[in-house]
Amino acid sequence: MGALVSFFGRLFGTEKKKEEERFLRANDRAFNLTFNYADNSIKTSKYNILTFLPLNLFEQLQRLANVYFCFLFVLQLIPQVSSLSWFTTAVPLTLVLGITAVKDAADDINRHKNDKQVNNREVDVLLDGDVKKEKWKNVKVGDIIRLENNEFVTADLLLLSSSEPLNLVYVETAELDGETNLKVRQALTVTGELGDNFEALTAFNGEVRCEPPNNRLDKFKGTLTFNGQSYALDNDKVLLRGCTIRNTEWCYGLVIFGGADTKLMQNSGKSIFKRTSIDHLMNVLVLCIFGFLASMCTVMAIGNAIWEAREGSSFLVFLPYEPGATAQLSSFLSFWSYVIVLNTVVPISLYVSVEIIRLGNSFFIDWDRKMYYPKSDTPAQARTTTLNEELGQIKYIFSDKTGTLTQNIMTFNKCSINGRNYGELFDFSGQRVEITDKSERVDFSWNKLADPKFVFHDHSLVETVRGGSPEAQEFFRLLALCHTVMPEEKNPGDLYYQAQSPDEGALVTAARNFGFVFLSRTPETITVVEMGQHITYELIAVLDFNNVRKRMSVVVRNPEGKTCLYCKGADTIIYERLHPSCKKLMEVTTQHLNEYAGDGLRTLVLAYKELDKEYLEDWRGRHHEASIAMDGREEMLDQLYEEIEKDLMLLGASAVEDKLQDGVPQTIEQLAKADIKIWVLTGDKQETAENIGYSCNMLREEMKDIFIVAGNTTEEVRQELETARRKMCPDAPDKPVLNKSRAGLLWLQTTQNVPDDKVDGEYGLIINGHSLAYALEKDLRLELLRTACMCQTVICCRVTPLQKAQVVQLIKKYKQAVTLAIGDGANDVSMIKAAHIGVGISGQEGMQAVLSSDFSFAQFRYLQRLLLVHGRWSYLRMCKFLQYFFYKNFTFTFVHFWYAFFCGFSAQTVYDEWFITLYNLVYTALPVLGLSLFDQDVNDRWSFQYPQLYVPGQLNFYFSKKIFVRCMMHSWYSSLVLFFVPWAAMVDTVRDDGKDIADYQSFALLAQTCLLMVVNFQLCLDTHYWTAVNQFFLWGSLAAYFAISFTMYSNGMFLIFTSAFPFIGTARNSLNQPNVWLTILLTILLCILPVVAVRFIFKQLWPTINDKVRHKVRKEALPAPVPRRPPPRRISTRRSGYAFSHSQGYGDLVTSKWVLLKRKSRPPLFTKNTDSPLAQNQPQFYRTITEENEEAQSP
């Protein structure tokens, strides 16, 4: 199809030449239009009014079965061939194509509506020296646009100027990466001077050369040429579409990429048509069935030739050949006649039923109240209706971290001050009590500047601070002074903090609530309100954080002239620099740190040091000389920092919780019991991801080893991977075993599979992004795959969106396992689309992942219900449906085969023509739909109680080629009974009055009645869960059969439509005979009893996990919901090296004289008139605002 589209693109001149470099000029539309760059409109729809019918039909005819049915319809139009009327195929074919077309049209109409809503948003564009309102779709590359606070970024822009000092702009990138903390972008100084001057901006004619459109969210390369000078451009100078402007009154940007060329849309990529493994198997089986059908028709044609030669001449007297016809021609035509008669081996109603079943199971997901999140009014949604059963076969889950496993909200949880632990509650007996929503909160009303949303439960800490404890007050004084947070006070007491990292904002907010309020800063001072008193400290130096130091310090002088150094950082780093007198306190603090780490908290150690005045003056002089040195500046500064940061006095430790979403550890535990492997692919740094791994119970202290791969060359990575593999499995061969096999349609596709190596014990693997880049190279990827698959848990840190997709594709290619990817941002889209199933987390983190997903919901914990309940049920129902459907249709068809030996291979049908038409559409349609929509082996609580029930789906246990052959053999036996028992019973039978009833019509009625009874009794055996709907469908279908039969075989129908209803009186004459009903009973017993016996033997001797659990269900009461109890206290020696996620360089920024210039008054941070859902919630998500947890729902 791609080649066809490409051909028409060249034919009509619409195929676009690949862009190698983008070149544009500001304020020059005529010049930029010569390059035919994409405008700013987006198009996610597939059809329009003119293309819908031909394109949709073309897509549907790519399904092999639909082409087959069209061919069959043509055959039925040929009188010499067809023994069935044309409507037996035309009606169901039209129905199938029509239903699918209507569904596709409805989906595309929604896409058109969404596109129209986005394209018609308005933005201010600088045109002809004035700012004019333009629709987004009319914005062109090279235009200069004006954005204001809380507005979405219209296109990918080069930031020119802003209202903020240093030309800074604060943006929220939740739509792109799911992170709600603010990020900073900064314009070039040369463009920042343009300011808000319309004349200067209109005269701006800078030229930009940059990379072509791509999907790399974290990189941008280009140059700006202006007034003969060239300036380098990077990602910090660019505002991407999908971001939201925050805390910025106004800014101007130059459009670089628009519409489909923006990084947001490039990440969305083209929609991939996903098909389930059962769909792929069905294609192969349908091809096999075609071959089987051709072989049966060939046998029939040969039989017809033999019969014509031996017996046919006897009939020529009263059935002469038509002119020109011969025995050979008769044999040839009989082949095609049997193609029509036996076509029910692949009935078209199969595909109608599959679509209905999938749609029904999708509605069950949409309607599930236990997957509804009331806080954001977000229900679960099945956005794709064709993948339900694939949810029951997942083997690997690839998850993002931020916004998916975590809420991206940091809370000050516990602390250790002077050897005393704070933050826990105990009862009268000294037992630890779990903190819940109902626990009494600390009252901070005594502090007028406290954050009302801050939550803490240990009253003793407030009492200690207010009681004047010098250590406690020094602890919070340190938190109020040692940071890079920027304050903003819009109204008196209305204080907001702008923090580069949410955990740093949490610590400053904690100090604020306990009486040490960081109020303002200048480049030389920090103003703090300490227990109600305003105190201004002189800021002498900021010793900034970097990845090597893993600590941050400030040197300040209080109004009394006392000078102190305050330092916070990783425990291992701080402990090395403590005074020897702190040894005893360090041991107690270490014990507390181990407890915090066991709870998965992010820890920091706090220390201080009083400085001698003369020493400080000397140190400041040397620090100034080092800071202006041209050579070796960094090394000189590091030496000075090491010199002053020693002999520190320990104050204690803080513990910040990177709040997980509710139920994440329990969900991961349940999925692990279901033998599902979970890999975390995150852009966060290693220590942060490692912390979350422990919090989620993915990484555990009990693991034999956790390997960290951080090599900087191919050889280093290879050596680290091989060392890990040899430790886990010393006997494994050095080179991976690669099993190759044939698969796919016509077995033209070659599949490769790397088998798992057996490992004793549990291991974990953590790999960094730069090491992953080497590991994904062609000669190393199999080594990575082997090592990673030996581990129970795999965490990939600092990975790009492309690497996320590559990891998913690696598993898909070499493991032949079903994969699921779950994320919440645009950086997860490529992973979501690469996996077999894509799940988007909807809610406050952005909607880009949801728009590209197959299923969506608001909380990660709903994933276990989606897989263990809906997924498993959908898989079981689809497998039961296919087994039963093939059984009933092969049985139906094989009876024709046996009848051919008694009708001279003439292609005469054994059943009434109307029965053939209605068999799959009416008589057997609803009962099997009832089975496929409502059946369940056990209910949802038992499904959670025994996650192992999920394992058979991963192994394709319930439907495979082997099961299909078993269905054929069962049908073959049933068809023998269904034909020969009625034939033997009727061949010499007479009525009570002596009249012969062994005519064709009576036999046809008996055969079809026996068939319908047997397949319905077989359905009863297959049904585990009976509902009123099932009962109504089953007995209603049987009643409909008899009602329709008596009506069609009545005198009235014969008189009105003589040729259409020839079976006059057959029903009433046959079904009033006792021997007919005895024959029906005998047939049912002969078909059903062997099935019951075989199933009984297998359940007694070789029971499956389902059999065992269903037996347990009958013996025991329904399991109660798992009671909520406090998690056991874990002790861990592993701690976060440094909790902060902010970048180096903010120390210089906050001490710059420009960043703290008097700001203009500006509008509120979030206005009510905004499209952003974020703007309608808390103003700052990085603050320690702890929302009340929703009441625990049963999963």
Kindly report the length of the chain. Answer: 1195
DSSP state letter for 389: G
**Radius of gyration of the chain from its Cα atoms, rounded to whole angstroms:** 37
Say which amino acid occupies 1126. Answer: P
Give the contacts of 434 (CB within 8 A, at least 6 positions apart): 1125, 1126, 1127
Beta strands in 293-387 (DSSP E): 381-382
Say which amino acid occupies 49. Answer: I
| 1129 alpha carbon, distance to own chain's centre | 33
User: For residue 275, with 0-12 CB atoms within 10 Å meaning exposed, 13-18 middle and 19 or more buried, which class applies?
Assistant: middle
Say which amino acid occupies 84. Answer: L
DSSP state letter for 340: H
Question: Of 226, 232, 258, 190, which is closest to residue 32 (Cα–Cα)?
Answer: 258
Angle at 487 between CA 241 and CA 505, to 5 degrees: 75
Quote the CA–CA distance of 237 and 1179 in Å, as a whole number: 25
Quote the CA–CA distance of 775 and 766 in Å, as a whole number: 13
Give the contacts of 341 (CB within 8 A, at least 6 positions apart): 83, 84, 896, 907, 909
Quote the CA–CA distance of 988 and 584 in Å, as a whole number: 106
Question: Of 856, 930, 1030, which is closest to residue 373 (Cα–Cα)?
Answer: 856
Measured from the Cβ of residue 716, the count of other Cβ atoms closer than 10 Å reads: 14
Give the contacts of 244 (CB within 8 A, at least 6 positions apart): 150, 151, 152, 153, 171, 172, 174, 175, 1172, 1174, 1175
**Is 400 one of the annotated active-site residues of the chain?**
yes
Report whether 672 contacts 868 (CB < 8 A). Answer: no
Quote the CA–CA distance of 218 and 83 in Å, as a whole number: 67
Say which amino acid occupies 1027. Answer: T
Per DSSP, the three-state class of 368 is coil
Give the pair of three-digit tokens for residue 946: 């025994």
Quote the CA–CA distance of 123 and 153 in Å, as a whole number: 9
Quote the CA–CA distance of 988 and 670 in Å, as a whole number: 64
Give the contacts of 810 (CB within 8 A, at least 6 positions apart): 776, 781, 784, 785
| Residue whose token pair is 């306190």 | 585
Q: Which residues of 947-972 are buried (b: 16+ CB within 10 A; e: fewer)?
A: bebbbbbbebbbbbeebbeebbebbe
| Residue 531 backbone class (left: φ over 0; alpha: ψ -120 to 50; beta: rest) | left
| Residue whose token pair is 């039978």 | 989
Give the pair of three-digit tokens for residue 1112: 């347990």
Residue 177, CA distances (Å) to 216, 247, 521 in order: 12, 19, 31
Quote the CA–CA distance of 875 and 1099 in Å, as a whole number: 21
Q: In what order do the strands lie in the sheet with 183-186?
A: 183-186, 168-172, 244-246
Measured from the Cβ of residue 135, the count of other Cβ atoms closer than 10 Å reads: 14
394-399/677-681 β-pairing: parallel
Give the contacts of 126 (CB within 8 A, at least 6 positions apart): 27, 132, 143, 144, 145, 146, 198, 201, 202, 252
Say which amino acid occupies 292. Answer: F
Among 124, 143, 156, 400, the active-site one is 400
Give the pair of three-digit tokens for residue 54: 């031909």
What residues act catalytically? 400
